[in-house]
Amino acid sequence: MNLIDFDELYRPIVIDLFPENLRVMIDMKAFEKMALSFPHTEQVPHFERVGFKITGRRMFTTYLEKDNTANIFLTPAEQRFFCKMDRTNVYPVPNKWGEKGATTFELNNVAREVVMEALLSAYNGTIKPNAKNKK
């Protein structure tokens, strides 16, 4: 009769939310393509950054080429969610905008799928701005 090793059977399962094979660097061209993939979006200059907005509405993200980062404009609740995923590479912008949900993503180290999900959240929040304020 074989004895069951319960320690082996009930070993904790560790899931890597950011496996190395998904950590493909997002460069300027890739980020531009991602941001412009949403309907009615356009690219505009924004100080030293490149902004992406919905035509006739506010920006939902900006990109800074010199350090390959994006600031994505989320709700504070969405910001907390994304920051919990990777506190080192996803964090609030260190100013008043950050308190309102603006979140920096270091694109060299964050999975493309995570960035795309954040862009979708920001885009939807811009399309339906009143939905953000409802409880």
pLDDT in tens, 23-70: 568 999 999 999 999 999 999 999 999 999 999 999 999 999 999 999
Structural domain contains residue 47: yes
Structural domain contains residue 34: yes
Question: Quick one: average pLDDT of 6-17?
Answer: 49
Structural domain contains residue 98: yes
| Tally of structural domains, the chain | 1
In tens, the pLDDT along 93-108 reads 999 999 999 999 999 9
- Using pLDDT thresholds of 50, 70 and 90, give the confidence band for residue 127: confident
CATH number at residue 66: 3.90.1150.30
CB burial readout 32-50, b (16+ within 10 A) else e: eebbeebeebeeeebeebb
**What whole-number distance in Å separates Cα of residue 16 and Cα of residue 106?**
18
Query: Residue 105 in contact with residue 69, Cβ under 8 Å?
Result: yes
pLDDT at 118 over 90: yes
How many CA atoms are closer than 13 Å to the CA of 53, on its beta-carbon side? Answer: 11
Could you tell me the residue range of the domain that residue 46 belongs to? Answer: 22-111
pLDDT at 6 over 90: no
Cα→Cα distances 16→13, 21, 47, 49, 86, Å: 10, 11, 37, 32, 11
Structural domain contains residue 130: no
